[in-house]
Amino acid sequence: MTAVPVAFIQVTDVARITPHMVRISFAGEGLDAFPTWPDQQLKLLFPRPGQSAPRLPEASAGGDAMRWYQAYLALPEDERPWMRSYTVRSYDPQRHWLTVDFVLHGAAGPDGPAGAPESGPATRWAAAAAVGDTLARYGPSADYARPLPTASADWLLLAGDETALPAIGSLVESLPPGIRALACIEVDGAADEQTFTTRADLTVHWVHRDGAPPGGGEALPAAVRALSFPAGAPFVWLAGEAGTVRTLRRHLVAQRGLDKRQIDFTGYWRRRLSQDDAPTEEDLAEARERVEAARTGRG
């Protein structure tokens, strides 16, 4: 694998685009020649309380990703920045800005005061972000770019909750003309819906929780089960809360008869657990399946 770039980035713009999502743009070192692709993942590092910028390991790792990560883990826990995975929503090649959409869940959203305990460190940071604030990025790496197989599928299904919205937006906006796509997206309510500009034949089904907590509910699985699928072989992209993703995948394989190789799936988050918590047995099984799928190809 190639070395994963690590660099500081500074906030250049902040915009609340829906009640539960804020769009933040960044500039920084290395963004003048930034590789781009849809559903582009990277990790952001957030400062600990009292820090104006996240503390990073010394540059002695020599650009090697594994050595850098080991040096990161060796930092004192109370100084080690929180690391969270995000999707690049867009990249501006003229201004050399990358843009990331942050979901404001928990009490940092519009339903509670910012900074309440149930809001995680990334959510608290995003809710209070201002121009000039500093984060760090780890990645992205082109080793993980996996384009949708639009040439081999008759149509596409994309399903997820609001954490999947940035990836779904980047995917549908990259689709060529003539591709039929269905998107089934769970959000809190109508005010959290977004619009996409795409050349594809796209139909979006919005699923509203109407105040119910995100993750683990039946709203999104019920909506997917109720869909009338077009004729032909689909390719399916799933992301969001891990348990919901597993439920959707089981339905598509067992009830809809899809081959597992027709489904790309990622659990972005887990109810009552953060990325700092140890993986569950289901998480490990999912990771093994994803590694095997990457090794053998999507089919």
Residue 132 has what pLDDT?
98
Q: Which two tokens stand for residue 15?
A: 């915009």
Q: Average pLDDT, stretch 124-149? A: 92
pLDDT, residue 1, reads 46
Tokens of 241: 């809360």
Alpha helices, DSSP H, located in the chain: 65-73, 121-127, 165-172, 219-225, 242-254, 281-296
For the chain, how many helices (H) and strands (E)? Answer: 6, 11
Query: Rounded to an integer, what distance in angstroms lies between the CA atom of residue 8 and that of residue 245?
Result: 33
Half-sphere exposure of 266 (CA within 13 A, CB side): 18
Residue 62 to residue 73: CA distance in whole angstroms: 16
pLDDT value of position 299: 41
Please give the backbone phi and psi of residue 60, each rounded to the nearest 5 degrees, phi first.
Answer: -70, -10
Poorest-pLDDT segment among 96-105, 172-181, 192-201, 286-295: 286-295
**Average pLDDT estimate for 219-238:** 97
Biggest CA–CA distance in the chain, Å, is 57
Q: Report all structural domains of the chain as residue ranges with CATH numbers, in order of start.
A: 6-141 (2.40.30.10), 146-296 (3.40.50.80)
Q: Phi and psi of 153, rounded to 5°?
A: -110, 145
Label residue 292 by pLDDT band (50, 70, 90).
low
Give me the DSSP letters along 184-219: EEEESSGGG------SSEEEEEEEE-TTPPSSS-SH
* pLDDT for res 116: 38
Give me the phi and psi of 67, to 5 degrees please.
-65, -40
* Residue-by-residue DSSP string for 99-122: EEEEE--GGGSTTS-TT-TTS-HH
Comparing 56-70, 202-216, 232-246, which segment has the lowest mean pLDDT?
56-70
pLDDT band at 84 (very low <50, low <70, confident <90, very high): very high
- Quick: pLDDT tens for 29-42: 999 988 899 999 99
Mean pLDDT throughout 138-153? 88
Q: pLDDT, tens digit, for every residue of 203-225?
A: 999 999 988 888 778 999 999 99
Does residue 129 have a pLDDT over 90? yes
Q: Which of 87-96, 151-160, 229-238, 280-289 has the lowest mean pLDDT?
A: 280-289
Q: Given pLDDT bands bounded at 50, 70 and 90, which one contains residue 105? A: confident
Q: Distance (Å, rounded) from C-alpha 140 to C-alpha 26?
A: 14
Question: Mean pLDDT throughout 147-157?
Answer: 94
In the three-class reduction of DSSP (H, G, I as helix; E, B as strand; rest coil), residue 223 is classed as: helix
The answer to which of 62-76, 158-172, 245-259 has the lowest mean pLDDT is 62-76
